Chain A
Amino acid sequence: DSGVTQTPKHLITATGQRVTLRCSPRSGDLSVYWYQQSLDQGLQFLIQYYNGEERAKGNILERFSAQQFPDLHSELNLSSLELGDSALYFCASSVDRGEQYFGPGTRLTVT
């Protein structure tokens, strides 16, 4: 158990809908990262927050957005969902730029 929690574990929704994925980092970690992993693909970095502020942006679509709250939990919002958005979404946390600890992931299925 990495200490990073993600909810929900599974999510099934229809095209065009909007969903919110939630991540709680390890106690004491200020950085939160979001990744997307499509079937048989490598991890794709989406976005990083540090202590409430966006620090780095990767291959994140405009339909996706994220935020980190004062209590350091983070949410990833996915809107106007398409079939191709079906994937595992991982959250990771770290103290700052150090070792990243990954959560168990949220499996999103868009039908």
Chain B
Amino acid sequence: KNQVEQSPQSLIILEGKNCTLQCNYTVSPFSNLRWYKQDTGRGPVSLTIMTFSENTKSNGRYTATLDADTKQSSLHITASQLSDSASYICVVSASIYGGSQGNLIFGKGTKLSVKP
């Protein structure tokens, strides 16, 4: 069964600290993996998208890694800011054609709170 699991479910860190969010998936065939940031009550915004051949991708203070062998991904946030408080959602596409919607599997997200 295609599944995406994220950990931790929630996380509280102090402003300025780094943190790492995890995503494990059992999705086949794998096409790509995306990380989204969702502010409370807002639509998700894409942070990174990685294909099978990519193992690291950065977007400012956000760095995503992908290990296709172990089917794990992580999102590392450096020097956290109060505005990083949000849910971070891992999404895996199961289609070799880049993901018609029926093949997008969403994780439940990690809720990050950055405190001053």
Residues in A lying within 8 Å of B, measured CB to CB: 2, 4, 31, 33, 41-45, 48, 55-58, 88, 90, 92, 97-105, 107
Contacts and interface: CB of A to CB of B under 8 A. Distances in A.
Interface of B: 41-46, 49, 89, 95, 97-102, 104, 106-109
A13 to B, nearest CB: 19
A2 B101 contact: no
Contact of A55 (B46, B97, B100, B104): B100
Contacts, number: 55
A103 B43 CA distance: 6
Interface residue SS majority, chain B: loop
A31 to B, nearest CB: 8
A56 B97 CA distance: 14
Q: With a 10 A CB-CB cut-off, give which of A48, A88, A97 has the most chain B CB atoms.
A: A97
Central interface residue in B43, B44, B49, B98, by most chain A CB within 10 Å: B43
A104 B42 CA distance: 5
Contact of B95 (A97, A100, A102): A97
A58 to B, nearest CB: 7
Contact of A57 (B98, B102, B104): B102
Contact of A45 (B41, B98, B104): B104
20 contacts: A4-B43, A42-B89, A42-B106, A42-B107, A42-B108, A42-B109, A43-B89, A43-B106, A45-B102, A45-B104, A48-B101, A56-B102, A90-B44, A92-B43, A97-B99, A99-B46, A103-B43, A105-B42, A105-B43, A107-B41
